[in-house]
Structure 1
């Protein structure tokens, strides 16, 4: 990469989410770092120590990973494949839930629960944990309480899935709601455009993030706008949803001006949005589930098939194309794919827990697992706290990675070092 990546750090900012309880920041903040000699930031020691043939008991259990299809969530699937490549198809089983999972709810549940039929199955990871995952985990635990159930990017209410999942890891929609707008302001944007649809807006994480973004825009004297685009899982499908974005970007550019930053909540919308903004002007800070592979290859007509998993190569290739297209300083991402990191990292954490090498709810151990598949990345994380009650959940973790702006002085925006004001954690 063009700027040295900082060490892999996960900071537990519990105080930021305990305002409702009146807890002092100094009493609750915990810093997590890889400091031991066998927990290096680049994950090389972890990889060597976790060789399939050399791990005791490795052949005695299986891990299943369920993701969406390539068309809906390619990075999630690539991360699952990376974990399978590392440990072998004899130990790792992959599955895909339907694209139209809300209509095919029973099929989604059956696919997830079906993995528990394997008598050697010891952990099941679902990323993204779409509708039906809660019921699936409930059924699995009724039949097989020995199986660990991990949810990556849960769609269903935390109150529900948190009761049946052993671990839930979502992107930090609270901190990022503030930090994405903060970054847009730092880059000189005067307005912020949020693109979504009713199904996504019905989710707590999305609806709370919208209100946080609105409040942040007020703080930074920016205008906030919302646009509705078609839901890709409806009858229009992915092609129809993408066509809508393609047709409207030029109109939005005229309506909101060249200093507007855009954010969409759906992966399928990302590619046509990036492509349109490259042509007509505007800013794109990062995707809902950020990755240099999210939207950029298609928007810039890049063939990155030979660079699978090589994120140094990927981000440099994408950056060269962004600059060549005139997007320098206007487009950003995370240096490592979020979906990729969650699929592989959660599976790695599950494996470590099963082997007795990690604690289930340790953020430090979760950091080590993510480090095996995102070497050198800087992360920030916190336990989820319910806004009204101030109750903190041990098994629900929110995380985010530093924002990388292509060809911007400094490249990294230092978002993981920015303290989010406490009032944002109580916005509903």
Structure 2
């Protein structure tokens, strides 16, 4: 009898030990126990659908290993809420990394508060809305699209598409911003190299009295005028989000060229401009969107006349940031801002070499060793 009781007691102890171990590990993909969790903060679905859906896809892929929270819609005026959300994630001892993408106002302050309580947590900031010196002082690693060198990429893409003219739409407020100035300068210089006529086009500022509607109406009317003036082999680029959908639509109808939007994603401008209906089960599906865009362009003999990045910006940034955080937590590398690992992960995801460089401040020429800027792989549809 004593022997039977001993076996029962030992069995119960083993079971209890198993439950205790289970409480210390998160459930990852296929129910596999994971030794850590990763937090992701994105905009809400109404503010930035692509990044929200990518984060949700990460949760589906990795299960409870991923914690997904969202910034408040009015992040600039609700920074205390951002801090509170970040601290709530950091209060879980299994959270070993937090990714902020897009890193809205208040991210640096939130990181500082997290750092005070949990210095072990890896803190990553994608597409920050705060000044480089502010966010770089708080984050372990910051990453952003390479806006300045995108000017070279747009001009090269236009050249490969056969452009004879490139129209660059902007307005004074945007052209007072250093990165926009640098992108335009690079674009103009590259156009001169390729023998492409560079034309400045000024559209109404969407923050002026005309509003977004005024900007969009101008673009819809002016693109056909420019095509009539310069011919169908005219490429168009705009610096503002409000310009993109009407520009894409007008280019499509005018049989002109659209090398890429300012945010070179297949999810950006194309669906609305081309009238692409996206089923609920295909939202966030890059392959579906590429095929749908190509099919629409084929209807007007427009294949090869529009382009984007092979991997949409936010899709690439969040997927790669999660992979980077996992490899760091797994001990694959120890440098929190590892340039070589970052470049390897991003290039593999994009399906080819991705240009990565350390950010150099346009105004001060200061190089930030923990701020990497990314130029994705260009494709045509």
TM range (shorter): 0.7 to 0.9
Q: Deviations over 1:274-323 (max 9, x none)?
A: 11211134321112221222111121221233334543333122111112
Contact 2:346/2:354 (CA < 8 Å) preserved in 1? Answer: no
Q: Deviations over 1:89-133 (max 9, x none)?
A: 5631221342xx4xx513145225522223124332222223443
Aligned to 2:331: 356
Contact 1:274/1:296 (CA < 8 Å) preserved in 2? Answer: yes
Q: Could you tell me how far 1:180 is from its partner in structure 2?
A: 0.9
Tell me the distance in 2 between the aligned counterparts of 1:109 and 1:341: 29
| Aligned equivalent of 1:57, options 32, 35, 40 | 35
Aligned to 2:69: 94
Q: Which has the larger radius of gyration?
A: 2
Structural RMSD (CA): 3.0
Aligned to 1:156: 130
Secondary structure (helix, strand or coil) at the match of 2:200 reads strand
Q: Could you tell me how far 1:75 is from its partner in structure 2?
A: 1.8
Q: Verify: 1:317 aligned to 2:292, yes or no.
A: yes
Q: Deviations over 1:32-91 (max 9, x none)?
A: xxxxxxxxxxxxxxxxxx847435413xx3x33222343443222222112121122563
| Aligned equivalent of 2:86, options 104, 111, 115 | 115
Contact 1:242/1:269 (CA < 8 Å) preserved in 2? Answer: no
Consecutive unaligned residues of structure 2, counting only runs of 5 or more, are 1-27
Shift in alpha-carbon separation, 1:371–1:85, aligned structure 2, 3 A: farther
Tell me the distance in 2 between the aligned counterparts of 1:52 and 1:355: 18
Shift in alpha-carbon separation, 1:153–1:200, aligned structure 2, 3 A: farther
| Aligned equivalent of 1:400, options 362, 371, 375 | 375
Tell me the distance in 2 between the aligned counterparts of 1:235 and 1:196: 16
Q: Could you tell me how far 1:192 is from its partner in structure 2?
A: 2.5
Tell me the distance in 1 between the aligned counterparts of 2:204 and 2:338: 39
Shift in alpha-carbon separation, 1:246–1:235, aligned structure 2, 3 A: closer
Shift in alpha-carbon separation, 1:275–1:84, aligned structure 2, 3 A: same
TM-score by length of structure 2 reads 0.78
Aligned to 2:49: 74
| Aligned equivalent of 1:172, options 137, 142, 146 | 146
Q: Deviations over 1:343-372 (max 9, x none)?
A: 222133123222323342223422454478
Contact 1:82/1:344 (CA < 8 Å) preserved in 2? Answer: no
Select the structure that is richer in helix: 2
Tell me the distance in 2 between the aligned counterparts of 1:78 and 1:242: 27
TM-score by length of structure 1 reads 0.70
Secondary structure (helix, strand or coil) at the match of 1:70 reads coil
Consecutive unaligned residues of structure 1, counting only runs of 5 or more, are 1-49, 407-428
Contact 1:97/1:111 (CA < 8 Å) preserved in 2? Answer: yes
Higher relative contact order (CA 8 A, sep 6+): 1
Secondary structure (helix, strand or coil) at the match of 2:78 reads helix
Q: Deviations over 1:112-157 (max 9, x none)?
A: 5522223124332222223443343334334443333211122333
Secondary structure (helix, strand or coil) at the match of 1:344 reads helix
Aligned to 1:299: 273
Q: Could you tell me how far 1:223 is from its partner in structure 2?
A: 1.8
Shift in alpha-carbon separation, 1:308–1:375, aligned structure 2, 3 A: farther
Secondary structure (helix, strand or coil) at the match of 1:88 reads helix
Contact 1:197/1:231 (CA < 8 Å) preserved in 2? Answer: no
